[in-house]
Amino acid sequence: MSFNLIKTIQEKLGYSQLQKIDPNTQEIKTDVASPSARLGQAAIPAVLIGFYKYIKTDEGLRIFNTGVSNGWFERIFDGTASAVISKIAAYSEFPQAEVDQRVHGIADEAVKMVKEQISNNKSANLLNVRDYMSSQRADILSHLPAALQTGEILNDDTIDDRTNKMHGPVSNFMHGIENIFSGPGNKNAEPDNAA
């Protein structure tokens, strides 16, 4: 699986191109003035980082063995869905009802895309999904606005850490090492508890 999940979802669902977060200011480098652009900027990476956390659980891997095609947002953000919607609505200045609809669409599309990649790739297996989502983590976090406090919502301090938004030769190398050590076979990987 070698596709960029953020970019693919952004293009497929017709959102404006997402901006990387400046690690120093924790804000978007370029001004994203329109509420529509801010909605995509907040909703896509927030949903995807939740999906990343969810896929690390045994329950999360079971999504690929079910015929369910929608309603994934509540499963991914079990118990914290309304907090995520509230934060995205405040950041984007969109009504909560609209945000609710959009995050559901993003979650359903993300699951659908990853399921398609698994079924299209004969050598892929469920553990490859964890590896793939781990490889997408740094890109997701580099687009995730700190104002959403997603790490606090998901009970994972590493999500809001500035170092996840840094890029360059050394930072990219370190993110690569992080991906290697957070693989499913590593005993020191993050715990498999979803929030």
Q: Which pLDDT tens digit goes with each residue over 136-153? A: 998 999 999 988 988 898
Residue 144 inside a domain? The answer is yes
| CA atoms of 28 and 23, how far apart (whole Å) | 9
> Domain tally for the chain?
1
Q: How far apart are CA 9 and CA 109, in angstroms?
A: 7
CB atoms within 10 A of CB 29: 12
Q: How far apart are CA 37 and CA 156, in angstroms?
A: 26
Is 50 exceeded by the pLDDT of residue 17? yes
Residue at 187 is within a domain: no
Residue 191 pLDDT exceeds 50: no
pLDDT at 184 over 70: no
* Residue 126 lies in domain: 5-181
Whole-number average pLDDT of the chain? 80
Alpha-carbon span 186 to 184, nearest angstrom: 6
The pLDDT tens digits for 36-89 are 889 999 999 999 999 999 998 888 877 777 777 788 999 999 999 999 999 999
- On whether residue 58 sits in a domain, the answer given is yes
| Residue 186 lies inside a defined structural domain of this protein | no
Residue 188 placed within a domain: no
Residue 49 forms part of a structural domain: yes
Looking at residue 20, the DSSP 8-state letter turns out to be P
Average pLDDT over residues 108-121: 84
Q: Is residue 192 part of a domain?
A: no
**Is residue 57 included in any domain, yes or no?**
yes
